Amino acid sequence: MSTATASSPDAVTGPTPEQEARRRRTVAWVVALATLGLIFDGYDLVVYGTVVPLFLADATQIGQVTPPVAGALGSYALFGVLVGALLAGSVADIVGRRKVMLTAYAWFSVGMGATAVMSSIGGFGLMRFVTGIGVGALVATTGALVAEYAPAGKKNLANAITYSGVPIGSLMAALLAILLLEQIGWRGMFWIGALPLLTLLPLAFFLMPESPSWLASRGRLEEAREVSERTGVPIISASAPAAGDATAPVRRERAGFAGLFGRQYWFPTLVLGLMSATGLILVYVLNTWLPELMGRAGYSTQGSLSFLLVLNGGAVVAALVASRLADRFGPKPVVVASFVCGAVSLSLLTLNAPLALLLLFVAVVGAGTSGTQILIYGFVANYYRTNVRSAGVAWCAGFGRLGGVAGPMVGGLLVAAGLGLEAIFYVLTGLATFGALLTLLVPVARGAAAARTVPVEPTAPAQQSAGR
C-alpha cells in the first residue's frame, strides 16, 4: 500500500504509470466536459443580446418590446443565475458535485428549449429566469469539481481553461447570430442552447465522476477509495482518517454556507464576494456599453464590434497565461496584478491613439476585467476546504452576480449623466483599482494547510472508464 507524502498533499507516493495514465485521462475528461458546459453557459447568457434588435423592431415575435422591457428581460436571466448559484452552493457540498452538475445540464437545456417556444413577453421572461437558475448552478459547482481533480501545480490553469468557456460561449453566440439568425430566427438560436440535453448530458452521465475528496469529506471512505482507484486521482481531505486506519472516526465539519460563514472563513468570504462583484461590474459595463462608447468616439458599427471581440479574446488568452503564473506564485499576487493592468489600460483608452494601439489597450483591458474574473473563480475554488468549496464558488458566482446585474445599469447611468468618454473610463479605472485593493485584503488560506492525501488500497482491477 502506498503512503502519503507530507511534502506534497496532492500526490500519492510512488504512483504507478497505470495510475498516472488513469489520472491524466480522468482530468482530461473532467476539464473538457466542464469547459463545454460553461461554453453553453456563456452562449445561453449572451444569445439574448443578439436577438434584442429583432424584438424591438417586430412586435409579432413575443409582443411589443420597448427598450425598458428589453432591459428587464435581460436582467431576468442574471437574477436566475444569482438564485441558482446560491442554492447550488450548499446543495453541492451536501449531495455532491456530480449530481448538481448533471441536473444543471438538464435544467438549462430544457429551459432554453422552453424559451424557444414562448410567444409572450411574460412567458419569455419567466423562462429566462428559470434557465438562469441552471446556468448559475453550473457556474457555482464546476470550479469545485475541477479544483478537486486538477493535479497540484496546475489547479489554477485547469480552472482558467474551464472558465474560459464562458467568454468563448459569448463569442460563439455573436458569431452564430451573424451566420444563422436570418436563416433560423431567434427561436432557432435558443434551440441551439438546448443541445446539451442530447449531447453533453449523456457524455457527462457516463464520464463525469464524483469527487473522491468530497466523498471522503462526507465520511464515505469506501466509495472515495473506489472512485480514487478507478480514476487514479488521490483523495485530498482535511477530515479523512489517518492513512491505513479505515476504522478511525471521521471528523465532520460544517458544510456549505454554515461552514463558509464560520469563524475561519467569514472575513475572506466577504472580501472575495466583493472582489467578484467588482470584477463583474467591470465585465458587464464593458460588454454592454463598449461598442456604444466607441461608436460615440467616432468608430463605425463594425469597428465598435471589433473592440468587443478583442476584449473577450484578450480575456481568454491572458487568463490562460496568468493562470500558469498563479500556479507558480499563488493566485493572490496574480489577481492583484491583473486588476492593476486593467486599471492602467482603462486609463490609456482616454488617449487619442491610433486604432491598432487602442485595440491593444482593449485586449489588456479584457485581460484585466473578464480575464481577472476567470482567475478569481480559480482563486476561490482552491481557497476553501472541500466541505465548503462549492459554497465558496457559489458565493463568488452568486453574490458577485449582483455586480453583473448592476454593471449594465452603472454604464447606463454614466452615459445618461452626460459624462464624457474620458470620465467614464476613469470611473472604471477607479473600480479596477478598488478590486486590486480588495484582493490585497484576502488573508492567507488556512484550510489547505490541513488537507492531506488519503492513500488508496487496491480493491479491484482498475477500470479504464473515468465514469461514475
Q: Which three cell numbers stand for residue 121?
A: 413577453
% of the chain beyond a pLDDT of 90: 22
> What are the sequence ranges of the domains in the chain?
17-212+258-450
Contacts within 8 Å (CB) and 24+ apart, 12-15 = 12/234, 12/453, 12/455, 12/456, 15/232
Q: Which position has the grid cell 409579432?
A: 60
Instruction: Round the average pLDDT of the chain to a whole number and report it.
Output: 79
Give the right CATH number for 17-212+258-450 from 3.90.1710.10, 1.20.1250.20, 1.10.10.10, 3.40.50.2300: 1.20.1250.20
Rounded distance between C-alpha atoms, residue 334 and residue 214, angstroms: 28
User: pLDDT digits over 53-67, tens only?
Assistant: 788 788 888 888 887
When mean pLDDT is compared across 22-26, 240-244, 307-311, the lowest value belongs to: 240-244
When mean pLDDT is compared across 35-44, 304-313, 325-334, 422-431, the lowest value belongs to: 304-313
Q: Which three cell numbers stand for residue 367?
A: 485581460
User: pLDDT digits over 382-413, tens only?
Assistant: 788 777 777 787 788 778 878 877 777 787 77
When mean pLDDT is compared across 236-250, 262-276, 277-291, 317-331, the lowest value belongs to: 236-250
* Spatial contact of 98 and 468, defined as CB atoms under 8 Å apart: yes
Q: Answer yes or no: is pLDDT of 463 > 80.
A: no
* Spatial contact of 52 and 66, defined as CB atoms under 8 Å apart: no
When mean pLDDT is compared across 276-280, 281-285, 327-331, 409-413, the lowest value belongs to: 409-413
Rounded distance between C-alpha atoms, residue 13 and residue 9, angstroms: 10
Q: Answer yes or no: is pLDDT of 190 > 90.
A: yes
Which residues 6+ apart lie within 8 Å of 283 measured at CB?
369, 370, 373, 403, 404, 407
| Residue 158 pLDDT level (bands cut at 50, 70, 90) | confident
| Helix H or strand E segment including 113 | helix 97-116
Rounded distance between C-alpha atoms, residue 409 and residue 403, angstroms: 10
